Structure 1
Amino acid sequence: RSDARHASVTFAGGVELHDFYVPAGGDEPDPAINDKFAHKLQFLDEMTAWSSEQSNPKAKRILVGDLNIAPLESDVWSHKQLLKVVSHTPVEVERLQILQDSHDWVDAVRHFVPEPEQLFSWWSYRSRDWRESNRGRRLDHVWVTPALTKGLKSASVFAEARDWIKPSDHAPVVVDIDI
């Protein structure tokens, strides 16, 4: 498929910002019977190949986006209940870890909010009271290359945006970086 799922910009000083949207993957976490899930895994493999080609310990790169994967147990409301749900399956988590390792990406948000603290950026519209049920997932990520780690100042999820009129099911993730 030819997807328009990667936008990038290079700022003065050579800092690159890459924004990705990883396909959601449909409902069934089996690539043999779900083309959407197969596409998601293929896209992650393509991202990893791109990231590996770009790998440079001195590079100043930021990767952001809706990666549609909650990798850690503390990134979902119930690890056990979501192990077979698209966005938290072992195969997705493994592929995301391979991607992260391909360029030594640092999870900028978890740099400030370490495990085991729960952290979510997405809550389903299906819940009448998203705050009370708090059945969230952390699907939105900000990663930096090691060269930018020293510049990390703060990170937060602006969950209050979910209370806006006609909100997104995703809340903005904000990372302050001194570049």
Structure 2
Amino acid sequence: MPLTISTWNINSVRLRIELVAKFLKATRPDVLCLQETKCPDDAFPLKRLARLGYTHVATNGQKGYHGVAIVSRLPFEATDRRCFCEKQDCRHVSVTFGERAGLKDPATVHNFYVPAGGDEPDPLVNPKFAHKLAFLDEMRVSPGLHPQNGARAILVGDLNVAPLEHDVWSHKQMLRVVSHTPIECEKLGAVRSAGGWVDAMRSKVPDSEKLYTWWSYRAADWEASDRGRRLDHVWVSPAIGDRVAAMTVTRAARGWPQPSDHVPVTVKLDI
């Protein structure tokens, strides 16, 4: 069956719930993974989402910072939330879909919000950057992120690293900018390699083509300057690496009123 999954750093789900509604009405994914919800679990806008047909929700939120959620039209069998680097930051939630969702074999969706890392790309003077590198190291060795023996899994989210040359507007100028430094790209690549993950977005767009999901609020005209980065990702396990039927980046969402600086990414899987 086809399974459609979207991921979006929404930068406050309550502030931008009408943008979420607009996207869901237009796209109708089976599953929407949100990051940076900035919302405690007991304040999550469940009723608004239920009216749109998304009645199954798994949240891991906190007031004012971070936060992730998985919103689904399909029921899931189990949920999980993990802490990384011995911190209580809400940066991961996962759900497993099974027979109740119409799947013959189970599939697990991991939703991540990796630390941004601050502005200075030196872990010795910038604790935020040190935290980001440690977080990626912990992801690399996390047993649950090594899908084996035909396990069907999807990992999505704002991973806050643009790893490839054409994931940024200027590879040369971005090498000393947090999100595209060599050490970050190397560590994110190690996470992907350790789990055998397939980059679903780049399976549809060649590495030689520019591909962005984020444009800074600082730009006077984000569209004209087009200084973007691909910070949002969708990976699939080897068992479904050849099942990516389509991929869409909703670039227009960056121009909506009071937008997030990220835009949704949607992948259709034949699983």
TM-score (norm 2): 0.64
Count matched residues: 179
* Offset of residue 51 of structure 1: 4.9
Which structure exhibits the higher relative contact order, with contacts defined as CA atoms closer than 8 Å and separated by 6 or more residues? 1
Q: Would you say the 8 A contact 2:146–2:194 is kept in 1?
A: no
Amino acid paired to 1:124: S
Q: Within 1, Cα distance between the matches of 2:172 and 2:270? A: 38
Matched, 1:90 2:182: yes
Q: Tell me which of 190, 215, 235 is aligned to 1:143.
A: 235
* Offset of residue 55 of structure 1: 3.5
Query: Which is greater in Rg?
Result: 2
Unaligned ranges ≥5, structure 2: 1-86, 99-104
Partner of 1:102: 194
Q: Tell me which of 21, 31, 34 is aligned to 2:123.
A: 31
Matched residue SS, 1:176: strand
Deviations, residues 58-114 of structure 1 (Å, cap 9, x unaligned): 110000000000000000000000000000000000000100001110000000001
Matched, 1:3 2:83: no
C-alpha RMSD of the superposition: 1.1
- Structure 2 vs 1, CA of residues 118 and 51 (structure 1 numbering), >3 Å: closer, same or farther? farther
4+ runs deviating over 6 angstroms? none
- Structure 2 vs 1, CA of residues 27 and 119 (structure 1 numbering), >3 Å: closer, same or farther? same
Pairs within 5 Å for 1:1-150: 1-12=87-98, 13-51=105-143, 54-150=146-242
Unaligned ranges ≥5, structure 1: none
More helix by share: 1
TM-score (norm 1): 0.97
Percent sequence identity is 58
Pairs within 5 Å for 1:152-167: 152-167=244-259
